[in-house]
Amino acid sequence: MNNQRALIAPSILSADFGRLAAQVQEAEEVGADWIHVDVMDGRFVPNLTIGPGVTAAVRKATSLPVDVHLMIVEPERLIPSFAAAGADRITVHQEVCPHLHRVVEGIREAGASPGVAINPSTPVESLREVAGLLDLILVMTVNPGFGGQRFIGGSLDKLLRLGEALDRWGVQDRPVIQVDGGIDALTAPQVVGAGAQVLVAGSALYGAPDGLSAAMTRLRTACDAAGRVKV
């Protein structure tokens, strides 16, 4: 792993879908590292968002990695479709995968990089058996389903415990630690300091009154203030 800046992944959940391609391209132009796509089914979470078709449109609009977060039940049914649509990374939730090992293998077999997300109430220990198989662990810092929620402060301790657990479990190829929910210029340095390497931000970027470019500069400066991370 190399020391570098924390990565920023704008979430299109907060973008203007009437001009989605332009919003994705603007994010790339102002220095985004990944583009984050939130997929919700109205069952695992109360909201309903998008499918593989929109993911394919995002893929066409950017050269950045497309990071798909599946907040859906039975994600194994749709993993091949999202991979075919151009997802570079696919993250599923631990809470909906009784056969998590099989699902993780399925993501890699589909040609994407596998990740697993855990909700605020899900313990770090739940990842012990699969941590060594993952490229990414997503720690939700809000309860999933809607953008613009307030950051859950207890997530900082959880991030620290996750780092300790990966050491304790002897994971050689450490997965990247991502956070999602309530990330802005105030919370960014806190999560980076606690071990986060990739920060998903939606409303703090696309909802900023002074525009995406200024918001990205603000968030990047806040991340840099916390120092460099290993990615």
Positions marked active-site: 38, 180
Nearest Cα neighbor of 48 from 145, 131, 144, 138 is 145
Q: Who contacts 1 (Cβ-Cβ below 8 Å, separation ≥6)?
A: 174, 230, 231
| Count, residues in the chain | 231
Q: Who contacts 63 (Cβ-Cβ below 8 Å, separation ≥6)?
A: 28
Contact of 195 with 162, CB cutoff 8 Å: yes
Cα 115 to Cα 12: distance, rounded to the nearest angstrom? 19
Contact of 137 with 116, CB cutoff 8 Å: yes
User: Which burial class, exposed, middle or buried, applies to 181 when counting CB atoms under 10 A from its CB (0-12, 13-18, 19+)?
Assistant: buried
